[in-house]
Amino acid sequence: MKIVLITGASSGIGQATASRLAREGHHVVIGARREDRLTEVADKIRADGGSVDTCRLDVTDRADVAAFVDGAVERHGRVDVIVNNAGVMPLSRLDSLLVDEWDRMIDVNVRGLLHGIAAALPHFQRAGAGHFVTVASIGAHGVVPTASVYCATKYAAWAITEGLRQEADPSIRVTTISPGVVESELAGTITEAGAKEMMRTYRAAAIPADAVAGAISYALAQSSDVDVNEIVVRPARQR
């Protein structure tokens, strides 16, 4: 049984990961901003016999993320895994100049990840064990129009996670999960009409979020001397 922290677990991939890992017998600590949704997710997990704590969390706030991790260590004596999953994707063309949305993607997708690493790394180092899982994207491997800033944040997430893997003690495992198009609420953050329309067609091939949860579960289940560096999971229909 591992103590697994998951950011952005109020919907989509984070929610599916929490549900799957709890079903597999892990204790999950789920964080996000929408507390009502966290409570719903937790109620479902408990009804299925799983074990879960909830924590209101804004990953852009460094103190929030520290409290998320430190609180779990206080309650359970340790944290085994942190899944840095929280993300937003308000796609738009650069000439739309939606600068506030660019800033938000950088804050959540990059600074949020860094806050997760900063909060968990000292605990993992002290314990001589731990596992970082970053939910990046196929957007960490290629750029398409309207996705330049989003892809930039995911390239950054990929680079930060790869650097962490190279620097970390071998007792600490580091995994990047790069999903293709997956059913979730992610496209709900798009405000630009053109990008929204494009996404409607693009997202028709989406696979269930549990497919990504399965990849995360696989990485966690390997023995401590095996580090799954990256898994790319995309719909068979997405080329």
Stretch that binds ligand NDP, among 72-80, 123-131, 174-182, 193-201 (CB under 6 A): 174-182
Q: Which of 43, 185, 197, 237 binds ligand NDP (CB under 6 A)?
A: 185
Per the listing, tokens 């496209």 go with 187
For residue 230, what are the β-bridge partners?
Answer: 176
Smallest separation, CB 150 to ligand NDP (Å): 7
- The answer to the question of residue 37 lying near ligand NDP (CB under 6 A) is yes
- The answer to the question of residue 85 lying near ligand NDP (CB under 6 A) is yes
- Could you write out the DSSP letters of every residue in 83-135? EE---------GGG--HHHHHHHIIIIIIHHHHHHHHHHHHHHHHT-EEEEEE
33 close to 60: Cβ distance less than 8 angstroms: no
186 close to 12: Cβ distance less than 8 angstroms: yes
- The answer to the question of residue 181 lying near ligand NDP (CB under 6 A) is yes
For residue 50, what are the β-bridge partners?
Answer: none
Q: Please confirm, yes or no, whether 150 is among the known catalytic residues.
A: yes
Per the listing, tokens 């398409």 go with 144
Distance, in Å, from the CA atom of 77 to the CA atom of 75, rounded to the nearest integer, reads 6
- The answer to the question of residue 54 lying near ligand NDP (CB under 6 A) is no
- The answer to the question of residue 116 lying near ligand NDP (CB under 6 A) is no
Which residue's CB is nearer to ligand NDP, number 129 or number 143?
143
Please give the residue ranges that form the binding site for ligand NDP (CB under 6 A): 7-14, 32-34, 37, 57-60, 85-89, 108, 135, 137, 179, 181-182, 184-186, 209
